[in-house]
């Protein structure tokens, strides 16, 4: 099969972007398959995602990137050109709750997620057996309330050792330090167990029960330094009724959490998510 790559671009909207980009691809032997473009009239910003089959041209992906750089600069683009065949390296982080981790591991096992998962990190040891059954190394890094710096230095070491691209907080329940958030901007995905912005922070199902809502939700977002306030990737809800106690809401909510997180991660792995300001464009 011919090599394939994905070209993802955000830039100020201007005439001629599409012609310029598609000529570049065509003149380098590429063929554009699925593609999406969005022009945001509010912000004056333009977004595009192209799936390109490279053809049997003489150009490597690195050469393509180099050749594209001047165009990108002239249009003031934020861009990336990603090898479709190269899976991202994802580190999962969990705490004691198994459901999101188990779901992602199952999907990974079933080849639903195009990525590599070189390791799982948890601040507890509870989920080790499940992870190791999948043949994935499990790093138990407890988080000491009085010395988080040391704990997260260890996390950082694991990240580097495994050459991690993307971190998924699969109900990790700990706040990452600002430097890690910063270095992995738009590459740390969290699942929050409420329909944000409702019920941010702790114990969202208790908050939801107290308020008497009729739908509970889950929100998948990129992590920023503001708790539960990063760019939203996806959300979903599940209907509840007066018969559902908090423990039922927790149980029902798990299904929303699992599916929303898996969907968000999938889009991320396929370079379908473009962040602009505190919002996402999702070309799905």
Interacting residue ranges for its own copies, rule: CB under 8 A: 13-19, 22-23, 25-27, 30-42, 47-48, 51, 55, 98-99, 102-103, 106, 109-110, 112, 129, 133, 195-199, 211-215, 217, 231-237, 241-243, 245, 251, 255, 259, 278-282
Is residue 104 within 8 A of residue 265, CB to CB? The reply is yes
* Catalytic member of 13, 228, 248, 255: 228
Tokens of 248: 């039922």
Is residue 44 within 8 A of residue 13, CB to CB? The reply is yes
Is residue 257 within 8 A of residue 100, CB to CB? The reply is yes
Q: Say how many C-beta atoms besides its own lie within 10 A of residue 16's C-beta.
A: 9
| Distance separating alpha carbons of residues 92 and 108, to the nearest angstrom | 12
Sign of CA dihedral 7, 186, 115, 34: negative
CB of 26 to its own copies, least distance (A): 4
CB of 23 to its own copies, least distance (A): 5
Residue 162 vs 221, nearer CB to its own copies: 221
CB of 22 to its own copies, least distance (A): 4
Residue 59 vs 106, nearer CB to its own copies: 106
CB of 41 to its own copies, least distance (A): 7
* 179 is an active site residue: no
CB of 227 to its own copies, least distance (A): 14
Residue 80 vs 276, nearer CB to its own copies: 276
What backbone phi and psi angles, to 5 degrees, belong to 222? -75, 145
What backbone phi and psi angles, to 5 degrees, belong to 23? -65, -45
Residue 30 vs 91, nearer CB to its own copies: 30
Using alpha carbons only, what angle is made at residue 138 by residues 268 and 169, rounded to the nearest 5 degrees?
35
What backbone phi and psi angles, to 5 degrees, belong to 152? -75, -20
Using alpha carbons only, what angle is made at residue 179 by residues 177 and 181, rounded to the nearest 5 degrees?
70
Q: Say how many C-beta atoms besides its own lie within 10 A of residue 146's C-beta.
A: 6
Which active-site residues does the annotation give?
228
């Amino acid at each position: 099969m011919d090599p394939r790559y994905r070209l993802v671009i955000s830039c100020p909207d201007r005439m001629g972007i599409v012609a310029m980009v598609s000529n570049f691809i065509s003149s380098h032997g590429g063929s554009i398959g699925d593609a999406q473009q969005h022009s945001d009239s509010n912000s004056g910003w333009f977004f595009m995602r192209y799936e390109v089959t490279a053809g049997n041209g003489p150009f490597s992906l690195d050469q393509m990137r180099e050749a594209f750089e001047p165009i990108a600069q002239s249009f003031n683009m934020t861009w990336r050109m990603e090898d479709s065949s190269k899976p991202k390296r994802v580190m999962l982080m969990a705490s004691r709750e198994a459901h999101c981790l188990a779901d992602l591991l199952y999907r990974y096992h079933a080849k639903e997620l195009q990525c590599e998962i070189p390791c799982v990190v948890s601040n507890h040891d509870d989920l080790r057996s499940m992870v190791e059954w999948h043949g994935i190394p499990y790093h138990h890094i407890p988080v000491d309330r009085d010395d988080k710096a040391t704990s997260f230095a260890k996390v950082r070491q694991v990240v580097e050792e495994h050459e991690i691209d993307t971190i998924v907080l699969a109900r990790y329940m700990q706040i990452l330090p600002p430097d890690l958030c910063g270095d992995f901007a738009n590459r740390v995905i969290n699942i929050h167990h409420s329909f944000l912005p409702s019920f941010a922070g702790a114990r969202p199902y208790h908050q939801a029960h107290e308020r008497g809502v009729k739908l509970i939700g889950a929100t998948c977002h990129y992590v920023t330094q503001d708790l539960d306030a990063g760019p939203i990737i996806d959300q979903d809800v599940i209907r509840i009724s007066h018969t559902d106690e908090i423990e039922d809401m927790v149980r029902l909510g798990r299904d929303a959490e699992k599916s929303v997180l898996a969907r968000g991660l999938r889009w991320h792995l396929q370079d379908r998510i473009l962040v602009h300001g505190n919002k996402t464009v999702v070309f799905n």
